[in-house]
Structure 1
Amino acid sequence: MSELCRLYRINEENLNLRKQFIQLTPEDIAILRQLRPWAEEHAAQIAKAFYDHQFTFSETRAFFEKIAQQRGLTLEQLRSRLEKTQAAYFLDIFREADSGGNFGVPYFERRLRIGQIHDVIDLPQKWYLGSYALYMDLVYDYLTRAYPENAEFVQKAFRAICTVFNYDTQSVCDSYLLSVWQSIGLDWQQVKLHSSRHDLSDTIGQVKELVQGALRASIQTGQELYHAAQQLASATGQSRAATTDIATSIEQLARLSTRQLEQVHRTAQAVSGIQQASRQLAEGAQQQAQSVQHAQQVAGNLQTLIADAADKVNQMGGQFQQVSNIVEIIKSIAFQTNMLALNAAIEAARAGEHGRGFAVVAEEVRNLAERSASSAKEIGALIGAMQSIVQETVHSMQNAVHEVETGLTQAVESIATIVSQYQSMATQMAAQSDEVKQVMEQTVHLSEESSAASQQMSAATQEIAAQMEQIASLADHLRQIAANLQNALSAFNLSENQSLKAA
């Protein structure tokens, strides 16, 4: 498979251009075909002599020691493998010539893979290309030994082998160059070829422009990124300070909300006390109303009792009048008795001695009549006085009944009015207390929501503060990345590149 050739856009057409340019002629291929037996005889010797110098030179020896250590081989084991590989590489030139001498895509694919392997093991290109000078010296030496009498053939053979060496070094250089492009992430699909006669090695100028453009953009982006990181760090610091202020304000708000909630709870308790007092006042007003009704009933009963007493006093006055009439009758009887006693005394005086006893009786009767009249008079006076007292009492009781009725009615009406006002006020207070309680309950609910919201805001602010810390850390990290990018890109000086190009 010709995977690398396809990737590098190498085909038979553009390989023919290379062979034409280095003048790899059919005569060269014929000579190479003729030299196959010589190559098979001396390939191992040439490879050994080739690595004698490689393992003697300090820089290349140190390189091979590192490779041996990486692969877990001794230096002798590594050299043995290298000599076999190098001999096979050398023989492949002559076998290709003997098998048709095309030196086309399959041959170039094998050479690209050799270059790729050297790039993978990180063999410095100067040592690889420089080793071809030693290679050519060894080839010339072994040719002159093999054909000492034929200098012209040696010259043609040496030229043919060196021409193929040139062809091979192109492939290795292509591998190195394209590996570098691949290592920097170049998208080869972006590289445009004008025709199938060209391969990627023809696009060095185009690739340089792409790389320079990418470097310029990277440098500019790195600078902008660095400045943006600095601005972000500054803005993050300001935001962090602002977040701290906000957090402090929210904490104060939370404390105020807590105090407000406590005050609202106390107010709600006070409103509940007022509401309870309003109910008690309403109940007291109701009890007072009942007491007023009871007082009205008592006043009515008192009025009735006073009226009954007045009636009885009036009745007593009537009885006193009857007694007075009887006293008058007694006085009349006493007067008549006194007159009869007087007449009896007159008649007894006329009777003389015989009428003396009758006169005594008549005197006693007259005295009794006088005492009766005197007693009746006293009784009449007493009855008159008692009638006056009864009349005054009746009048006073009537006035008292009227005053009690009027005063009690007014007092009851006033108390009833006050009680009604109390009831109305208690009802209004109860209603207002209910409204205030509802408002306070809503206020409590809102205060609780406000407190919860403050807590949520506080938590959110703390989370934002933590995020700001993360952003600040990321900003510092971003600034460090930008600084590292600038340091990495500082190795590229596009102005120097441009000046070299101009020179």
Structure 2
Amino acid sequence: MDPKQTFGQGGLNQFLAADELIDRIGLDTDEIAWRKEFVGFDEADERRLADLETLLRENQNEIADDFYDKILQYKQTRDVIDRSPKGVESLKQTQRAYLVSLSTGEYDQSFFANRARVGKLHEILDMPLKHYVGQYGVYYTLLLHQLNERAQEQVVDAIEEWVEEQDSDGSGLGGFVNALGFGGDDDDEGLEESFEETVRDAVDDGMMDVLSLLRIINLDMQIATDTYVDSYAQRLEDSIERRQRLAREVEKDVQGPIEELHEAGGVIASRAQTISSHTAAQARNTNQAATELGELSAAVEEVASVANEVRSESKRAEQLTAEGVDAADDALDELEAIEGATEDVTQSAADLETRTEEIDAVLERLDDVAERTTVLAKNAKIEASRSGNSNSGTMGVIANEVESFAEQTKRDLAAIEDAVEGVRRDAMKTVETTEETAERIDDGTDRVRETMDSLEEIHAAVGQTATKMEDIAAATDQQARNVESAATTVEEISQTADQVADATESVAAASEEQTASLQSVGETVSRLTDENDEEEQPVYEQV
């Protein structure tokens, strides 16, 4: 079978558009001519390859077997072979056809197009480029072994021909020995010139055969490598196209959200800045409130101190009033005793004088109590005006009542003093008439009773005042504690407000950074599609 009909005609060709491939890698007539000239491949090489056809045909089975024996030793190459639709024997047949085709081709565009198709088929099988190029190393070993044998045979044949020519001249074996420089003649130095030239020509001819074979394999390797590079370029172009398509889609998808996020970020930053300003103002107001509460706490503590003093004075006034009541009661008892003792008027008058003096003392104490009660009422009014709370109205009423009682007590005390004075004058007259004295004692007794009633009312009022003052003192103490607690709470709120203000400023800064980042993202996404596509470097240069 014609090798050109066997080689490169596998089942994978249905997946290959050969003409498009040739166009993409630029494998036209001029390109092929340039590559041949570059590696030195010419008509002389074509003739030498044609002379090698017999050698390659005779050794194609051995070379194919040895080739696959070699590559089947490695798992990586076995995996590639397993992906081929051909079996190993079919691949060996293809390999034999390839060997023969090296020496039977016309080495035109059709020849190299077939090479390009074969290279592409290997790439379709996902054979790595290192495997494909590495196979040529295996070829070199197998082919050069055969060429070495052929070159040695050519050298031997050339020597035999030279010897036969010498025999025709009658020199025979002696001529051959002399040609090798072993004739014994001192004038002979080394090989005989014609013999050396014959050997060199034979070796040179064999090396030129090797060079011709290497040149066609090199051209073959170039074309195969181009198919790999073309595939890489196609993948790169597809990747670039996918990237550009994706970039356009991404830009289309994210442009709107990014703009919305950018606008929202600006609004958030503005609002965060406003919140920060409000929070800072709140922090300042809270600090001021904390200061005012501190001052109020000090004032309440002072009020509590004064309330405690007033409470003490109220208790003392209550005690003095109680003593006045007791003294009045005693005076009443004395008057009743005087009223019943009419026999000894003189003695009664003397006793009455004594009791009158005691009443004067009591009146003095009551007068002192009245004065203190007046002071207490005034202090209560002052404290009520200072406290400024809901209890101020009650304290004002109590203070007015106490003051009213104090004024009434003064008036009563003044009346008692007048009465006592009258009793004293009456007592002087009692010496003259008992009946008259008794009547006046009755009058004095009535007055004392009235005074006692007034003192009892004062005692009750002062007791109520003392009780209420205790309540006021307790409430003031509690208010002082509440104000102090409120001041502590406001101070904590102030600290929290400062922290919130700092955090709000941080949020505003972060929002501004986010807005800037979103703008940067938008610009980056835009660059994905706005940048002009730069002209790609030639695929050969990239590889």
TM bracket (short chain): 0.3 to 0.5
Find the structure with the greater CA-based Rg: 1
Query: Could you tell me the TM-score, scaled by structure 2's length?
Result: 0.44
Q: TM-score, normalized by length of structure 1?
A: 0.47
